[in-house]
Structure 1
Amino acid sequence: MKNNRKLSLRTVSSAVALLALSACGQEGDGASSATGGKAKGAGKNGEPTVCLVMKSLGNEYFQAMQKGAEAHVAKRGDLKLKASGIQNETDIDGQVAAINGCITDQVDALVVAPADSRALVAPLGRAVKAGIKVINIDVKLDDGALGSAGLDIPFVGPDNTEGARLSGEVLGEELGKGAKVVILEGNPGAANAQQRKAGFEAAAKASGLTVVDSKTAHWETDEAYTVMSNWLTKHPDIKGVLASNDSMALGAIKAIQAKQSKIKIASFDNIEAIRPYVKEGTVLATLDQYGAEQAANGIDEAMKAIKGEDLQTWVKTKIKVVTAEDLG
């Protein structure tokens, strides 16, 4: 009986020792992080982990962004990617939850396209405090909110104001001076929504267009359909629409077709679903901002940050106006 008890104690002691060694091995797995010590999210081969938090994956633009990011990571082969999105464009709580999940997972870097330029600053501040490198893509975080929080987060993305101006000028050239137009705005809390509205207003002014109304449809197709339907009743002499993204342009098109109207549209994003309307002339222009490349560039900047390299304040990504001529 005594021999059995000694054997049992030795077995327990050995198991405890093995568990301790195993725990030490896990803690030591991975390369050094930019904050010193070990890379928090490193996998078996020591690759750092990068979280990509996007906006609505119901939007074709962000679906393409995710695919592009995954292809880029596969090509690089030196990191792990955790990609996520939200249910709809106004699901700010969903983005906060995703960011908190990245913090809990102790990832090495976080690349985020914020749904709101101010509301996401606080959770991103928590990520920075946790030693996570943060890169902002697509929608610029509010400079005032960043300053108040004592944060310096690099931005990788396009000049939204210039892009909207270029797209809007195509509509202006077609409609001519005095034509009445409306603007479909994005989320009021998103910097790119404000910037695109400013760009469209600049294009309207330069072309002599008259903006008779401007309202948000929160980037959403169904809401844009409702807004546009109301405008067609309120302003029956509208000649053009300046849509801050293609998803809202699709909603406007549906309302326009229901009225058998010949209203023309200038838009933003160049998603696959808008291209048939560009080809047949309802949409005169859309603006390609290369979302997949934005994500890839953001991931590259995150990897530089993890390695302790200096980053640019703004990595300006390319834009291109797309018309029927470009689509053949």
Structure 2
Amino acid sequence: MKFGKIIAAGVLAASLAMPAASFAADKPVVGLVMKSLANEFFKNMLEGAKAHEAKRGDYKLKAVGMQSETDIETQINAVESFITEKVNAIVIAPADSRALVPPLKRAMEAGITVVNFDVALDEKAKKEAGVELAFVGPDNRAGAKMAGEALAKKLGEGGKVVIIEGNPGADNAAQRKLGFEDAIKDGKLKLLDSRTAHWETEEANSVFANMLTAHPDIQGVMAANDSMAVGVVKAIEAAGKTGKIEVIGFDNIPAVQPLLKEKKMLATVDQFGQQMAANAIDKALGVLAVGAPLKGWVKTDIKLVTSDDVK
């Protein structure tokens, strides 16, 4: 089942899938492990998952969120707890693409279906763990390049830009940085600096303020998510440079809608986040029902969003 217009989910089927008879006998329990609930993207995701649970009515949802984007231990502990509780499926947006592979392998060995969405697990880590896992989700590199191209078109050749990176341990952060770099190369922009702000608004505000001090001639900012883009916009306003520096982001969270409308941001990329966990849960329930894993990479939709798309 495809639940609305979706963007990301990675599916890992347990090596010992739950039999169809067990699925039919009782409501399966799905453990949802998200990243920071301080991030509006994941707040919306949780709302979407709760609405999905109520709409389907054929499974029980248990949701866990992190305190911050770097709170990896909370995710690991959540997986371990769900293994102990013997949930039927774990649906997870990993904060670290390598660190979560071992606990997820243990879950799979315990007969739990694991769905990895939003951020792909590291291919090398999966190979080292001896597991073959599918991925259903967006091409983050292509999405970032799409936003970067909009910035390159706006600035023209020689435009001076910086990158605000996501969590270095996350695959989507790495892919988005690569996409930005692709756009910089193709658009013949000049990259002045690139630093991580770990997906966080306040950290991005501080990081960009320091960048601006070092490079007062910055013309454009490529933020790997919208939460960081919001922090960048605040720093631009504090420096009295509103309208002089273009900003792009990724996620299309509600907080950036007014920024796009007021031309404080140039563009973002929509991942349809509110439907993301719901779709991943559908995939997990589907695997439980048929007892067969999904394979390969199923690419899902992304969309460039500019002020023209904001009502």
Q: Same fold (TM over 0.5)?
A: yes
Give TM-score scaled by structure 2 length. Answer: 0.91
- Inter-partner Cα distance in structure 2 for 1:245 and 1:66: 18
Question: Is 1:284 aligned to 2:266, yes or no?
Answer: yes
- Inter-partner Cα distance in structure 1 for 2:66 and 2:53: 21
Determine if contact 1:240/1:264 at 8 Å carries over to the other structure: yes
- Inter-partner Cα distance in structure 1 for 2:137 and 2:219: 31
- Inter-partner Cα distance in structure 2 for 1:191 and 1:156: 14
2:217 to 202, 224, 237: 237
1:152 to 132, 137, 146: 132
Q: 1:37 to 1:324 in 2, by over 3 A?
A: closer
Aligned-pair CA distance for 1:111 = 0.8
Counterpart amino acid of residue 175 in structure 1: L
Give the structure 2 partner of residue 166 of structure 1.
146
Of 148-157 and 78-87, deviating more is 148-157
1:252 to 232, 242, 251: 232
Question: Is 1:323 aligned to 2:306, yes or no?
Answer: yes
- Inter-partner Cα distance in structure 2 for 1:120 and 1:79: 25
- Inter-partner Cα distance in structure 1 for 2:284 and 2:308: 37
Determine if contact 2:133/2:295 at 8 Å carries over to the other structure: no
Determine if contact 1:68/1:296 at 8 Å carries over to the other structure: yes
Two-structure CA RMSD over aligned residues (Å): 1.6
Counterpart mapping for 1:211-230 below 5 A: 211-230=191-210
Q: 1:37 to 1:178 in 2, by over 3 A?
A: closer
Counterpart amino acid of residue 257 in structure 2: R
- Inter-partner Cα distance in structure 1 for 2:168 and 2:188: 26
- Inter-partner Cα distance in structure 1 for 2:280 and 2:169: 22
Of 205-214 and 313-322, deviating more is 313-322
Which structure: larger Rg? 1
CA deviation profile, 1:57-109 (whole Å, cap 9, x unmatched): 11000011111112122222211111111000000001011111111111001
Counterpart mapping for 1:21-32 below 5 A: none
Q: 1:315 to 1:292 in 2, by over 3 A?
A: farther
1:271 to 219, 235, 253: 253
Question: Is 1:128 aligned to 2:108, yes or no?
Answer: yes
Matched-pair identity in %: 56
Question: Is 1:108 aligned to 2:88, yes or no?
Answer: yes
Give the structure 1 partner of residue 175 of structure 2.
195
Q: 1:293 to 1:109 in 2, by over 3 A?
A: same
- Inter-partner Cα distance in structure 2 for 1:156 and 1:67: 21
Q: 1:228 to 1:131 in 2, by over 3 A?
A: same
- Inter-partner Cα distance in structure 1 for 2:62 and 2:134: 20
Instruction: Point out where structure 2 has 5 or more consecutive residues left out of the alignment.
Output: 1-15
- Inter-partner Cα distance in structure 2 for 1:135 and 1:310: 10
Aligned-pair CA distance for 1:50 = 0.8
Give the structure 2 partner of residue 81 of structure 1.
61
- Inter-partner Cα distance in structure 1 for 2:160 and 2:250: 20
Aligned-pair CA distance for 1:293 = 2.2
CA deviation profile, 1:264-283 (whole Å, cap 9, x unmatched): 10110111111111111121
- Inter-partner Cα distance in structure 2 for 1:47 and 1:37: 12
Aligned-pair CA distance for 1:296 = 1.7
Higher RCO (CA-CA < 8 Å; seq separation 6+): 2
Aligned-pair CA distance for 1:36 = 4.6
Q: 1:310 to 1:122 in 2, by over 3 A?
A: closer
Structure 1 runs of 4+ aligned residues shifted over 4 Å read 36-39
Determine if contact 2:20/2:288 at 8 Å carries over to the other structure: no
Give the structure 2 partner of residue 51 of structure 1.
31
Give the structure 1 partner of residue 160 of structure 2.
180
CA deviation profile, 1:148-173 (whole Å, cap 9, x unmatched): 11122332321100110111111111
Q: 1:283 to 1:209 in 2, by over 3 A?
A: same
Aligned-pair CA distance for 1:135 = 1.0
Equivalenced residues, count: 293
